[in-house]
């Protein structure tokens, strides 16, 4: 069995962002040489997500509004976590959007359903953060 590991780095200019990372993940898959197996992609931080959905700007603004409704950033003092930090909302948003995705690898390609794309969801940005790509197979 082959095994491949790579870290991708992201540093967003804004506190929150959604980035389509499908091209970088596809590069990893090509580099791995794996044709049949499983690909795991996860955020290595507890205030960021990796998730699969549609690359449609209206939907991304709907996600932003939805998450702000459930876990508004402000006022900061509404959260017990915000004693030394101001990122309680980011932890909650990350929990809602998830930590990781697993995608089947078939014939050397990501075996996606229609419109599926992989996104990095940043909820407490403006610093360098890591995403792990792990691929196992043959």
CB of residue 34 to Zn ion, shortest distance in Å: 35
Strands 100-106 and 2-10: unpaired
Q: Which is nearer to Zn ion, 70 or 102 (CB)?
A: 70
87 contacts Zn ion (rule: CB under 5 A): yes
CB of residue 91 to Zn ion, shortest distance in Å: 6
Of 62, 85, 111, 138, the one binding Zn ion by CB under 5 A: 85
Size of the site for Zn ion (CB under 5 A): 2
DSSP one-letter string for 69-83: HHS-S--GGG-TTTT
**Rounded distance, CA 40 to CA 33, Å?**
15
Stretch that binds Zn ion, among 2-10, 82-90, 92-100, 113-121 (CB under 5 A): 82-90
49 contacts Zn ion (rule: CB under 5 A): no
CB of residue 130 to Zn ion, shortest distance in Å: 17
Terminal Cα distance for the chain, rounded: 5
Stretch that binds Zn ion, among 4-12, 29-37, 79-87, 125-133 (CB under 5 A): 79-87
Q: Which is nearer to Zn ion, 62 or 85 (CB)?
A: 85
**Rounded distance, CA 12 to CA 86, Å?**
17
Q: Are residues 120 and 18 in contact, defined by beta-carbon separation less than 8 angstroms?
A: yes
CB of residue 48 to Zn ion, shortest distance in Å: 12
Q: How far is CA 44 from the centre of its chain?
A: 9
Residue 40 burial (10 A CB sphere; 0-12, 13-18, 19+) = middle
Q: Which residues bind Zn ion (CB under 5 A)?
A: 85, 87
């Amino acid at each position: 069995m082959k095994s491949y590991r790579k870290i991708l780095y992201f540093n967003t200019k804004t506190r929150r962002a959604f980035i389509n990372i499908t091209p970088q993940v596809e590069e990893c898959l090509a580099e791995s040489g794996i044709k049949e197996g499983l690909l795991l992609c996860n955020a290595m931080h507890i205030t960021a997500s990796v998730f699969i959905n549609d690359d449609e700007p209206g939907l991304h603004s709907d996600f932003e509004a939805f998450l702000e409704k459930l876990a508004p950033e402000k006022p900061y003092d509404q959260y017990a976590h915000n004693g030394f930090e101001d990122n309680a909302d980011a932890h909650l948003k990350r929990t809602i959007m998830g930590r990781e995705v697993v995608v089947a690898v078939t014939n050397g390609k990501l075996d996606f359903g229609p419109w599926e794309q992989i996104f990095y969801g940043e909820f407490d940005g403006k610093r360098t953060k890591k995403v792990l790509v792990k691929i196992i197979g043959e």
